Amino acid sequence: MDIGNDSYFKCPSCKKKMYRTNWISYHVSGGKTFSDGVFTGMPHFTPNLAKCPHCGALSFLNNLKETEIERYSKADLRDDYTKRKKLEEPEIKDLVKAVKQGFAKTSKEEIELRTTIWIELNNKCRRGDYVFTKSEMALWEKNCKALLSLLIQDQGNAKKDTKEIDPNDEKNLNIQITIAELHRNLEHYDKCAEVIKTLPKEMKWLKDQYLKKCKAQNRFTFELKNKKPHESVSLSPRSASPRKGKGKKGHSRMIEL
Ligand SMILES: [Zn+2]
């Protein structure tokens, strides 16, 4: 594994310096893919939606302006080395607070924020612990509903632009799988089956796994088994590629947590 130069940012809230480690190359071993698109076994990347280590404010790093992304000389870095702090990963309570305070300004940002909450809660299932507390379950369900609504709206807008979704378009395929998965999480098993069946026939091996869970009325995140033992699952790994882009302007949040 090789680590490159760190990226430095200035927190838009407290103006203090924070940094992210950049990876040049890395190895993945023993990775597993899950039905929500998460791939485990990666190094611990700083997420695009990160938390200031000084004041706790959240930022979408890809949105920070030039003035908030700093370049330092080696001497500056030496002076600052002991004082510097690394960007943190937000906790669920930070993310929920961000939703309530209207932190996301566009539909793309709200999708990223709510996807992060979804993944964080799903991590409980990934660890083999299927027990949500009553409040976690309520949060999970509300968030699944809101995220599903946003994705369907987003997908609808994309359809208008392109007339129809290309079945070989990996991005749209992944959105479609996420929509199916959220329906399953919400116990809309017929709807999940309906959406998953629209995937190309080459993905039968993957479709069958979702359909089997629908039949068993199992709503929680599960590990996807590869088509063949030596092949990897062709979903975009969420942990490896934080979403980019500024999203649509003029979006107003419709659903409160
Ligand atoms: Zn700060």
pTM across the whole model: 0.82
- Average pLDDT, integer, range 36-57: 91
Q: For residues 162 and 63, what is the distance between their CA atoms, to the nearest angstrom?
A: 27
- pLDDT exceeds 70 at position 239: no
Question: How far away, in angstroms, is 91 Cα from ligand 1 center?
Answer: 16
CA of 46 to the centre of ligand 1 (A): 16
- pLDDT category, 59, cuts 50, 70, 90? very high
Find the 59 Cα to ligand 1 centroid distance in Å: 9
Distance of CA 125 from the midpoint of ligand 1 (Å): 32
6-24 confidence digits (pLDDT tens): 888 889 999 888 888 888 8
- Residue 222 scores a pLDDT above 90: yes
| Ligand 1 center to 210 CA (angstroms) | 42
State the distance from the centre of ligand 1 to the C-alpha of 135, rounded, in angstroms.
Answer: 29
**37 C-alpha to ligand 1 centroid (Å):** 31
Q: How far is the CA of 129 from the centre of ligand 1 (A)?
A: 34
Asked if 3 and 21 touch (Cβ cutoff 8 Å), the reply is yes
> What is the Å distance from ligand 1's center to 56 Cα?
6
Residue 241 pLDDT > 90: no
Residues, Cβ < 5 Å to ion ligand 1 = 11, 13-14, 52, 54-55, 57
pLDDT averaged over the chain? 81
Q: Which residue has the higher pLDDT, 87 or 235?
A: 87
**Amino acid type, 182:** L
As a whole number of angstroms, the distance between CA 209 and CA 223 comes to 9
E-strand spans in the chain? Answer: 2-3, 7-10, 17-20, 23-25, 33-34, 49-51, 58-60, 69-70, 223-224
Q: Cα–Cα distances in Å, from 221 out to 26, 29, 185, 214?
A: 27, 21, 8, 12
Note the Cα 235 to chain centre separation in Å: 13
Phi, psi angles (nearest 5°) of residue 50: -120, 165
| Ligand 1 geometric centre to CA of 51 (Å) | 8
Average pLDDT over residues 31-51: 89
Dihedral (Cα; 210, 214, 218, 220), 10-degree rounding? 40
Q: What pLDDT shows up at residue 240?
A: 33
Question: So what's the pLDDT on residue 191?
Answer: 97
